[in-house]
Structure 1
Amino acid sequence: MFIEGEDPKLLDSVNKVKELWGGRDFKVEFTKSPKELVRSWKEKGGKVVHLTMYGINISSISRELIEGLDNLLIIVGAEKVEGWYYKEADYNVAIGNQPHSEVAALAIFLDRVYKGEEINVLFEDSKLLVIPQEAGKKVIRVDRR
């Protein structure tokens, strides 16, 4: 994950989540130049997907297109995204054409890409596991020695 600017507290928070819940391959990198990141990504053959309420509705994008996307840089902007990103993106994709949560947009997009299978992922390096149940919470600590 690339984040514009720098936020050491965010990095600490992500590292704590990884420590308990796994996902050692997940990394956060801060960038001072997101436009250069986009340019570099495209130069290396990657595709850029910009999630925006102004894009083509995700339901209009063919399954073949979503499944065929590889080496993706997914841009999730907040309010007032510069027009440059709309022009540089290979795909401007909307989850809906009304204001919505950026986190929700990313979750729905990834759910489509992974066909719902991401909810079944268990990281081998996790220390905690949630045991699904109808009521209450059950979390167990896993000893992976």
Structure 2
Amino acid sequence: MTTHVILVARAFGAKGVYIEGKDEKMVKSILKVIDSWGGSSYFLVKEIENGKSIVNEWKEKGGTIIHLTMYGININDFQDRFEKIKYPLLIIVGAEKVEGWYYHNADYNIAIGNQPHSEVAALAIFLDRIYKGRELYMEFEDAKIKILPQKAGKKVIRSG
């Protein structure tokens, strides 16, 4: 699931991801995607030992911590605050068991509905709301593979 979260983060405009723990195989796979599809100067992939230290550093630098959880404020009720939140954002997406510490240290706990759902879907919807759909037109200059949208069929452009 982590790989899918990272792919969505990159495709939907996030500037990078912090991965708690080590997973060389997954990181290698993501870096291969970045090499082919672009974003090497845009998208950071960094493995860390302790996510709490990143949260604390982010807060010290004046950034905003958003925790996506089904227990938070419904995103529709948060919509009017998007323009007012301070950047940069650190978006926390967890799996099944997220420590209570993250709930208490996030500036906002935001829910994409209050039913069980995928963290992949939650991240995609949240980023789409932040970027207002503009991220869907994003292109990476260093991409070796690009898709040329078609009404029917497939057109792939390869370079390098």
Please tell me the TM-score bracket, short chain as reference: over 0.9
Taking a change above 3 Å as real, the CA distance of residues 137 and 113 of structure 1, as seen in their structure-2 partners, is same
Return the offset for 1:112. Answer: 0.3
Cα distance in 2 for residues equivalent to 1:73 and 1:121: 20
Q: How many pairs does the alignment contain?
A: 142
Q: What is the CA–CA distance in structure 2 between the aligned matches of 1:35 and 1:126, rounded to whole Å? A: 33
Q: Alignment partner for residue 115 of structure 2, among 85, 98, 120?
A: 98
Q: C-alpha deviations, 1:36-67, integer Å up to 9, x for none?
A: 1111110111110000000000000133x213
Q: What amino acid maps onto 1:17 in structure 2? A: V
CA distance in 2, matches of 1:133, 1:56: 38
- Which residue number in structure 2 is paired with residue 20 of structure 1? 36
Matching residue of 2:78? 61
State, as a whole percentage, how many aligned pairs show the same letter. 61
Looking at CA atoms only, which structure, 1 or 2, has the larger radius of gyration? 1
Runs of 4+ residues deviating >6 angstroms? none
1:85 is matched with which residue: 89, 102, 118?
102
For 2:148 and 2:79, the matched residues in 1 are separated by 35
The one-letter amino acid of 1:101's match is S
- Mapped to 2, the partners of 1:84 and 1:45 lie a distance apart of 19
Q: TM-score, normalised by structure 2?
A: 0.84
TM-score w.r.t. structure 1 length? 0.93
Q: Partner of 2:5 in structure 1?
A: none
Secondary structure of the corresponding residue to residue 62 of structure 1: helix
The residue type equivalent to 2:18 in the other structure is F
Q: 3-state SS of the aligned residue for 1:29?
A: strand
User: What's the secondary structure of 2:44's corresponding residue?
Assistant: coil
Separation of aligned partners in 1, 2:98 and 2:55? 14
Query: CA separation in 2, counterparts of 1:30 and 1:21?
Result: 21
Q: Is structure 2 residue 116 aligned with structure 1 residue 116?
A: no
Q: Tell me the distance in 2 between the aligned counterparts of 1:111 and 1:53.
A: 17
Question: One-letter code of the match for 1:11?
Answer: V
Deviation string, structure 1 residues 57-105 (Cα, Å, up to 9, x no partner):
0000133x21333111000011121111110000000011001110110
Segments of structure 2 that go 5 or more residues without pairing to the other structure are 1-16
Per-residue CA deviation, residues 9-45 of structure 1 (Å, 9 max, x unaligned), is 1111111111111111211111111111111110111
